[in-house]
Amino acid sequence: MFPMQAAWLDAASPVLDPFGLMRATQAYWQDTFERSVLYWDVMRQRGNQYLEHMAQTRPNVLGFDAEVLIDGRDLPHPVNYELMRILPPEGVTLDPLKRPFVVVDPRAGHGPGIGGFKPDSEIGVAMRAGHPCYFIGFLPFPMPGQHVEDVVDAEIAFLREVGARHAGEKPVVIGNCQAGWQLMMAAALAPDAFGPILIAGAPLSYWAGERGRYPMRYTGGLLGGSWLTALAGDLGAGLFDGAWLVQNFERLNPANTLWAKQYRLYADVDDESARYLQFERWWGGHIVLNAQEIQYIVDNLFIGNRLSTAQLITRDGRRIDLRNVRSPIVVFCSQGDNITPPPQALGWISDLYDGVEDIVANEQTIVYCVHDSTGHLGIFVSGSISRREHAEFTANMDYIDVLPPGLYETAITARDGAETTDGDYLLEFRPRGVDDLQPLVQPREDDERRFATVARLSESGLALYQHYAQPWMQLLMTPEAGRWIRRLHPIRLGYKLLSDRNPLIAPIPVFAEHIRRHRQPLADDNPLRQWEGMLASVIENGLKAYGEWRDRTGERLFLDIYGQPWLQALAGIGPDQARTRPHPGRLPEHRQFLQMRRDALRERITVGGVREAIVRALIYILGGAPTTDERNFQRLKATREELGKSLDLHHFKMLVREQFFILKLDVRAALEALPTLIRRDGDTDIEAHLAHITHILDASGPQSEQVRIRFARVKALFARAAA
């Protein structure tokens, strides 16, 4: 017997009793009526909450008190962004000597605050660890003439202010979703303003994806390019309604949007209403962008995909090259995220670098973590994610800051009782190569050609619209007409019609209050309630099947249309064209840069003293281990103190990186120079150095055979210096 048949029979067994059927039916319909009234009352509260939220001057959903430090409207190029200092809640004590954290939320249709939405959030985790926290938020409407580059410059100014407030300590910066790529642009233009960067669910390579999954990347091609974006901006009289972006997100999962989300509220209205209203306060906080802002984003990022290959150039001639970022970059993504899947979060690495040697030569440290299941919003607000991934990242940012350049994958495992680390988990870093990303990114040259065709045809379509239709649209549309179009957007209208502004809703709160006073929820074993749940599952599965069919059909159309050779030729992409975009890691000037870097390092092999010798030896020995973890950092912190109190974290980081580069350049010459570096030390000092190195190695538990062999070689070299 199939499980579904068994469930139906179990639910039908009480019906064999006629009187039991009558009682169950009466109780079910009474409960259905009560749940229906309570459901519509929650929807009424949602509408009122939406109107109250949108009426605020600075609406956000932060769960913490904050004070505004800098209003972006006062900057030389005014923007609707602002820097806020988060005030610690009662019972939380901040350490002003700890590195500050700055959280930046996405301006992608919703209002700010999701990064500090709950106590278990990015801000909450950092504050509980004692770090001063700041937040970069924004107002609902942009400033006239505001551009994406103005926002990037404003964020740089905000971060410099945070650094100045903490004696030059560069802050850890967390960018969620859209804020992630915006922060990466800022870090490429002003690398000196940033400490470690955590980009969570942030797309940087927009053409990347996996066949059969992640259909959002096909949207630009299926809509015929970016001319519709220009039309939406003109219909808003120069303003683009963020509700259109929210609608795109909702279309991704019709089963949840059209049924499951609302049915969960209806089925468990007694317990679910508070959570539902809390989330809807953020989900319904729609904001507005300038038409030129969204046009820049769609043309250069969503369709053009120019960020990951250093093709973006600012209005004043600065090239936005992500290889200029000098801070460690932590990429956090999830297999369950259909808005920013792992290929789009990680594809920029293989777009930009030809191999891990390029990453090392550019002095970059890139760490990535791929969660196996959480959704897009779960990356920012899930309590389990915050208690594990974000807590580990927060606790180990100083360690990440001194990791040698390269590419690493993190693994978070539960620690046993023998560990010496703080917390419940252990964070490990496993060295990886660019080729190791291929199973996640799954690059396809034929798909690249298709997306390049979309990008070029989009430019033509946009030019035609701007030349022939846009002047008429801008002549016809007025600011008042744009406001009315925003008010009548289906999503916005749904909130307003189900609020106290609608007189037909007036009886609902009266009935709801009466029901709450006498409410007796239906028992879970009621057969009609069980049948209702099974019917709801059937409807949800049907909508899921429709969504999968729609996505498969859209993908097939995209591949068939833009895979046509004649259409690609019309877009200027010939059959023998090797690449549709330049690869910065293979350009001749980049090769020349690498050679200059090698020559400069070769001259520093024998320069230094005991500091350089100990760090060089440790990097060489630990390089023989497949992983490194936070236990090593517990001793590395002591290493910095023992090497000299004047050696602050920044200079210690520079020391580690230089010795790493020297070992990568010529490991044999680097090791042979060790006796020269410590030649001035006596036998006692050299024994102390070896004891210190042994202590660090013991922190990671049993040593591998390769580590023991390397350590033996270092001992021999130190003994030569003693002799």
Question: What's the token pair of residue 452?
Answer: 């390049």
Q: Are residues 548 and 641 in the same domain?
A: no
Q: Are residues 433 and 475 in the same domain?
A: no
| C-alpha span between 395 and 330 (Å, rounded) | 13
| C-alpha span between 552 and 558 (Å, rounded) | 10
DSSP code at position 388: I
Q: Please, are residues 153 and 86 in contact by the beta-carbon 8 Å criterion?
A: no
**Of 388, 417, 443, at which residue does a domain stop?**
443
Strand partners for 430: 409
Q: Are residues 153 and 255 in the same domain?
A: no
Q: Give me the pLDDT at residue 683, please.
A: 67
Q: What is the pTM of this model?
A: 0.86
Could you tell me whether strands 101-104 and 133-138 are parallel, antiparallel, or unpaired per DSSP bridges? Answer: parallel
**3-class DSSP state of 237:** coil
3 within some domain: no
Beta-carbon contacts of 87 under 8 Å, excluding residues fewer than 6 positions away, are 64, 65, 66, 67
Indicate left, alpha or beta for 490 from its phi (over 0: left) and psi (-120 to 50: alpha). alpha
**Of 419, 443, 467, at which residue does a domain stop?**
443
Strand partners for 288: 241
State yes or no: pLDDT of 105 exceeds 80. yes
Q: Give the chain's domain count.
A: 3
Dihedral, CA atoms, 216, 217, 223, 225, nearest 10 degrees? 150
Strand partners for 286: 110
Q: Are residues 355 and 502 in the same domain?
A: no
| C-alpha span between 377 and 105 (Å, rounded) | 12
582 within some domain: no
**Of 426, 443, 460, at which residue does a domain stop?**
443
Q: Which of 419-433, 446-460, 685-699 has the lowest mean pLDDT?
A: 419-433
Q: Are residues 50 and 124 in the same domain?
A: no
321 within some domain: yes
Q: Are residues 467 and 325 in the same domain?
A: no
State yes or no: pLDDT of 360 exceeds 70. yes
Q: Are residues 181 and 250 in the same domain?
A: no
**3-class DSSP state of 267:** helix
Q: Give me the pLDDT at residue 379, please.
A: 79
Beta-carbon contacts of 566 under 8 Å, excluding residues fewer than 6 positions away, are none
Residues shown for the chain:
723
**What confidence tier does 421 reach under pLDDT thresholds 50, 70, 90?**
very low
DSSP code at position 522: P
15 within some domain: no
Q: Which domain holds residue 538?
A: 28-55+213-304+445-570
Residue 513 CA: distances (Å) to CA of 33, 271, 347: 14, 16, 53
Nearest to 244 by CA among 196, 207, 291: 291
630 within some domain: yes
Q: Are residues 88 and 186 in the same domain?
A: yes
The amino acid present at 270, given as its one-letter code, is D
Task: Please report how the helices 683-698 and 630-643 are oriented relative to each other, as an axis angle in degrees rounded to 10.
Answer: 160
Q: Please, are residues 455 and 303 in contact by the beta-carbon 8 Å criterion?
A: yes
Q: Are residues 685 and 657 in the same domain?
A: yes
Instruction: Please provide the average confidence, as pLDDT, over all residues in the chain.
Output: 85
Q: Give me the pLDDT at residue 476, please.
A: 92
**3-class DSSP state of 33:** helix
Nearest to 38 by CA among 494, 505, 502, 508: 508
Q: Please, are residues 410 and 333 in contact by the beta-carbon 8 Å criterion?
A: no
Strand partners for 663: none
Q: Which of 187-191, 213-217, 539-543, 560-564 has the lowest mean pLDDT?
A: 213-217
| C-alpha span between 407 and 429 (Å, rounded) | 9
DSSP assignment string, 700-718: TSSPPHHHHHHHHHHHHHH
pLDDT in tens, 494-534: 999 999 999 999 999 999 999 999 888 888 888 889 999 99
393 within some domain: yes
State yes or no: pLDDT of 329 exceeds 90. yes
Q: Give me the pLDDT at residue 15, please.
A: 53
Q: Please, are residues 613 and 655 in contact by the beta-carbon 8 Å criterion?
A: no
Q: Are residues 435 and 459 in the same domain?
A: no
| C-alpha span between 597 and 602 (Å, rounded) | 9
383 within some domain: yes
Q: Are residues 362 and 505 in the same domain?
A: no
Could you tell me whether strands 66-71 and 81-86 are parallel, antiparallel, or unpaired per DSSP bridges? Answer: antiparallel
400 within some domain: yes
**What confidence tier does 53 reach under pLDDT thresholds 50, 70, 90?**
confident
The CATH number covering residue 87 comes to: 3.40.50.1820
Q: Are residues 346 and 456 in the same domain?
A: no
Q: Give me the pLDDT at residue 292, please.
A: 95
Residue 505: Cβ within 10 Å count: 18
